[in-house]
């Protein structure tokens, strides 16, 4: 079982959006069964899942803590687990990072996000876990995007596929769907497919 933990000490970075989109994409690629875990008190991922009609991915309720829940999912035969985390540093966040095969850090190319990324990087480095940055909500032809990539590259690998600022992502989530499910041939579908391909290639790979 491979565990991906979405982590960012910055609120609004897009952890929940990427969690649901990558989980559905992993299932579509035949790499399931996939489970998702929501450790955020805001429960955005949980609300998305309850609005969903499809059976996959499976939302796993935390029982006995994150570590125990992950052990239960492993015993049940799940292949991929994606953990969504809140900005606050809680025991669940620490446990999710410690258990991860890859920590994915969504970052918007904004000054506030770049200033806040250091705290997340420190946490992951202390845990000695493989990590990657995912540039999220990127606006086209904005110089700050290139500057953000340069700044982040000093701290770790950056996913080559950027997720652009599209209303498709939020619109699909309203109905418990993902953007590629709404429009399989759209630009968002290509972005998510490319991002998942990168994440899958990193699982168990070099740090």
3-state secondary structure the chain: CEEEEECCCCCCCCHHHHHHHHHHHHHHCCCCCEEEEECCCCCHHHHHHHCCCCCCCEECCCCCCHHHHHHHHHHCCCCEEEEECCCCCCHHHHHHHHHCCEEEEEECCCHHHHHHHHHHHHHHHHHCCCEEEEECCECCCCHHHHHHHHHHHCCCEECCCCCECCHHHHHHHHCCCCHHHHCCCCHHHHHHHHHHHHHHHHCCCCC
Higher pLDDT, 58 or 113: 58
pLDDT band of residue 116 (cuts 50, 70, 90) is confident
pLDDT band of residue 125 (cuts 50, 70, 90) is confident
What's the confidence (pLDDT) of residue 181? 96
For the segment 176-180, the average pLDDT, to the nearest whole number, is 96
pTM for this entry: 0.93
Residue 42 predicted with pLDDT over 60:
yes
Per-domain residue ranges for the chain?
2-202
The sheet carrying 58-59 orders its strands as 58-59, 34-38, 80-84, 2-6, 102-107, 131-135, 157-158
For the segment 73-101, the average pLDDT, to the nearest whole number, is 94
- Give the distance from CA 67 to its chain's centroid: 18
Tell me yes or no: is domain 2-202 CATH 3.40.50.300.
yes
Residue 204 predicted with pLDDT over 70:
no
């Amino acid at each position: 079982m491979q565990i991906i933990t979405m982590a960012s000490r910055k609120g609004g970075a897009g952890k929940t959006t990427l969690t649901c989109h990558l989980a559905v994409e992993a299932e579509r690629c035949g790499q399931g069964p996939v489970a998702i875990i929501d450790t955020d008190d805001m429960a955005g991922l949980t609300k998305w899942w309850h609005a969903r009609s499809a059976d996959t991915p499976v939302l796993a309720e935390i029982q006995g803590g994150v570590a125990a829940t992950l052990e239960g999912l492993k015993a049940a035969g799940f292949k991929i687990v994606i953990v969504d985390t809140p900005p606050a540093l809680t025991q669940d966040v620490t446990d999710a990072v410690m258990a991860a095969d890859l920590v994915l850090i969504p970052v918007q190319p904004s000054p506030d996000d770049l200033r806040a990324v250091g705290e997340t990087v420190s946490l992951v480095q202390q845990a000695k876990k493989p990590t990657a940055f995912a540039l999220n909500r990127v606006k086209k032809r904005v110089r700050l995007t290139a500057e953000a990539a340069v700044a982040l590259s000093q701290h770790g690998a950056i996913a080559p596929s950027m997720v652009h600022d599209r209303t498709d992502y939020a619109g699909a989530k309203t109905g418990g769907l993902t953007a590629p499910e709404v429009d399989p041939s759209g630009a968002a579908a290509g972005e998510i497919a490319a991002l998942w391909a990168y994440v899958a290639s990193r699982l168990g790979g070099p740090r």
